[in-house]
Chain A
């Protein structure tokens, strides 16, 4: 009797091995798809953003003060209103701090309300002095010309600076240092930042309430474009447009981390902002620590609801967990939003591809 050996059936993979392989492939494929889908953030950042968003989803709210201010006629009155707004919120400590006020100063075109009004800057200087600031600097890196001196005179800001003995720093030609971009949204690893801003204890963004033909609206976050040094990024700083306006705005916000916004909405600009729009008397100052919430509130005052289509960078900043967009989670101090809401004419809608010009 001979022993018959069953021929061994040679299989390429056992069922178990096959299952493991498929499982590994599925996980690997999912990770690869997630990595691709999460660009330019990257997977780790994408998870951290979502974690932050989920955390914010559980009850975080922001406070924003809306205070009426009828005109620019009296610095004292604007100061009183600004102080009321400031004191109604939980604001950062000013005592002993080096404060940088960053207004929006772009162009002088007769008949157009383009720049942050000198009376509002004056009031902010005086408020910071009252609060015990060790040093106050007004700083701007204007977008359309290299020499800002005449613009300071023509706008009336120079007189305010001299009267208050406050220095002005031209951020376009300041000493600079390289910092790492914290967000990774713009595709740039680093950002060159003026020393004046890098060394500030408290950075206050002071925009004008305006529409903007590229960004929808130019408010406290978009105002940060004026911080990037022209000597590195050129004029009118369209280098930042090439990689996406929205991505660069949220990048600047996360990296520069301004702590306060004071928005000059006494007279705003509608339609073709930021230069050629029409004046719109709105009679408000808007103040807050969460610049996303401040800008969302300002947009609503202008009659726009920020979304993935309208003033996208506010929506994007909210999605990234940088602040609060949801109206129900913004606690308004001062006057109700509805009482000051306007219907600003929107800016022209433009294609992304031409925003570099």
Chain B
């Protein structure tokens, strides 16, 4: 047993108990079900090390089954998902949903316990949607491309993924889309032109000081600072896209990890701390810094360390973070000793 297993199990209990009656999860407890928090709650509950007995009366197993039914039923005929059932227009929430199905289809124990015969079709249609509908259009006009380069210092030849169809690409949806496309077979997918171009998009949109923001590293000649949310999602994607060129003390990767670690240290936000820790943990194996960050997530360290912060960490009664299934799901992923959610095997 790891030292954080109890925290992890309590987190999974919180997720199980905060599931809505319709089978989905909201961003906050008792909030309406949305696709994105449902995906991440399911991804956390799927942790193969926890030992859920399939076909049992285990509440976590039942929650997973109900959640997956909700998700399968939410897929539109075009292959995408909206933000929730009543939203008939497919959008960015297709990316995390596809990510989830790829994890289930890739890990034999999860496949055996949770997959349905239709899941590979669901995944295939979703991947087609991501490539054909979610990706931003190419900028055909040379004049416009030059203007974009001049004003924002970005290269519109690199095409990211958008929040909604027909819009420009942005860092968080691009990161999620790349994970969804690459996770099932990184070696092959990293050679595809779409993914190579997507990685270059992330490189191009990186902030000069490290990290990422929404996707505007420069705004009319001025540097727009990075933010922890975009930096975390971009690093999650980067973990799957790494090649030799990414390493080195002055690399964008190293600058971004250092920056995100600073965000975690100084943040008052549970969401920033758990999401940041999840991302940094994928790169930084240094035990001391990891312990510090994970203690930050669980709030187990001494009073001196927490006196200047207001983030509460895990609620010892409910097991959740910020009374939010969304935040708690990322905390549970951050506490996981295996990387099944990003490097399934």
B-binding residues in A (CB < 8 A): 107, 109, 144-147, 149-150, 153, 158, 173-176, 178, 192, 213, 231-236, 238-239, 242, 272, 275-276, 348, 350-351, 353-354, 356-357
Contact = CB atoms under 8 A, between A and B. Distances in A.
Contacts of A146: 172, 229
A234 B173 contact: yes
B228 A147 contact: yes
Residue of A107, A175, A236, A348 with most partner-chain B CB within 10 A = A175
Interface of B: 26-28, 31-32, 34, 36, 83, 86-87, 91-92, 144, 147-148, 151-152, 154, 162-164, 166-168, 170, 172-173, 213-214, 216, 219-220, 222, 224-225, 227-230, 267-272, 275, 310, 326
A239 B164 contact: yes
Nearest to A276: B222
Contacts of A272: 220, 222
B83 A145 contact: no
Given A146-B229, A354-B148, A233 B32 contact: no
B168 A233 contact: no
A242 B227 CA distance: 24
A231 B220 contact: no
Nearest to A153: B268
Given A149-B268, A232-B91, A357-B148, 9 more contacts: A145-B227, A153-B268, A173-B27, A234-B92, A234-B164, A236-B214, A238-B167, A238-B168, A348-B220
B139 to A, nearest CB: 10
Nearest to A108: B225
A242 B224 CA distance: 22
Contacts, number: 102
Q: Sorted from nearest, which 3 A-B pairs have the closest CB atoms?
A: A234-B163, A149-B269, A173-B27
A241 to B, nearest CB: 9
Main secondary structure of the interface of A (DSSP, over half): loop
B229 A147 contact: yes
B53 to A, nearest CB: 34
B272 A147 contact: yes
Given A234-B167, A275-B219, A175 B32 contact: yes
Contacts of B275: 147
Contacts of A175: 26, 31-32
Contacts of B164: 233-234, 239
B166 to A, nearest CB: 7
Contacts of A236: 214, 216
Nearest to B269: A149
B167 A145 contact: no
A216 to B, nearest CB: 15
Nearest to A144: B214
Contacts of B86: 178
A146 B271 CA distance: 10
Given A173-B27, A233-B163, A239-B164, A109 B225 contact: yes
Contacts of B172: 146, 235
B269 A150 contact: yes
A150 B272 contact: yes
A83 to B, nearest CB: 32
Contacts of B270: 149
A234 B219 CA distance: 18
Contacts of A192: 87
B219 A276 contact: yes
B168 A235 contact: no
Residue of A158, A234, A272 with most partner-chain B CB within 10 A = A234
Nearest to B213: A144
A43 to B, nearest CB: 27
Contacts of A275: 219, 222, 224
B216 to A, nearest CB: 7
A231 B168 contact: no
A357 B270 CA distance: 30
B333 to A, nearest CB: 16
29 contacts: A144-B213, A144-B214, A144-B224, A145-B213, A145-B229, A145-B230, A147-B228, A147-B269, A149-B268, A149-B269, A149-B270, A150-B228, A150-B268, A150-B269, A153-B268, A173-B31, A175-B26, A175-B32, A231-B34, A232-B83, A234-B92, A234-B163, A236-B216, A239-B163, A239-B167, A348-B220, A357-B154, A357-B168, A357-B216
B151 A350 contact: yes
